[in-house]
Amino acid sequence: MMNEEIKVQEVNEGLPRIGSPAPQFESVTTHGTIQLSDYKGSWVILFSHPADFTPVCTTEFMAFQEIYPQLRELNTELLGLSIDSVHSHIAWVRNVEEKFGVKIEFPVIADLNKDVAMKYGMIMPGESDTSTSRAVFVIDPNQVVRAIIYYPLSAGRNMDEILRLIESLQTSDEHGVATPANWRKGEKVIVPPAATQEMAEERMKEEGIECVDWYFCKKELK
């Protein structure tokens, strides 16, 4: 039991937290050697997949490529990763283009030494020590981790939610608001609750804001 607890601690020791600086790295990719710092000033979606030449991962890579132009319009870059060699990555993305007609245009990190996977806690206890989970890390232009999503190996990711998440974070940053459940760009946003009784009373009368009560108010963004 003690050995299992130590192993779990070692696997997760580098797990970042939302709001903390993104762990820096330099890695070989299908587009050459990159550093995370190369992307400062842009949003980054760093995602891991269990292995090349696997069916669920293949569907995910094609789906990520489908939304890549939309992400670029949102000043957001994609970085894929698995514990495979760069030659395996190249062979796989070439195979995806040949068999499915989809050209993968974003870099795929070859993390054979598990450096990035360990820093980001991408390997789950109890899983293969060479298969990264389906993790998604959203990193903002200041290289701060803003969101983390984990999926089990059996479930492919939802690209609509990843796009929605980026739009939500960018909207919140720009306008100082929050977004409700199932929010889509263009819909009403949540106004931060009043901090004092006086502000609460004023909020209920404020023009352009719809309040159910002092703590629950929405507005349209112009």
What residues are labeled active site?
Answer: 57
Distances (CA, A) of 35 to 26, 76, 79, 80, 93: 4, 16, 11, 13, 21
Instruction: State the virtual CA torsion across 188, 157, 45, 22 in degrees, nearest 10.
Output: 100
The rounded distance, in Å, linking the Cα atoms of 207 and 118 is: 51
Element (H, E) at 138: strand 134-139
Q: What's the token pair of residue 91?
A: 């062979």
DSSP β-ladder status, 76-82 and 108-110: parallel
Closest among 88, 90, 85 to 107, alpha carbons compared: 90
Q: What's the token pair of residue 166?
A: 């980026």
Distance in angstroms between the alpha carbons of the first and the last residue of the chain = 57
List Cβ neighbours of 36 (8 Å cut-off, separation of 6 or more): 22, 23, 24, 25, 26, 44, 46, 139, 143
Neighbours of 161 (CB within 10 A): 12
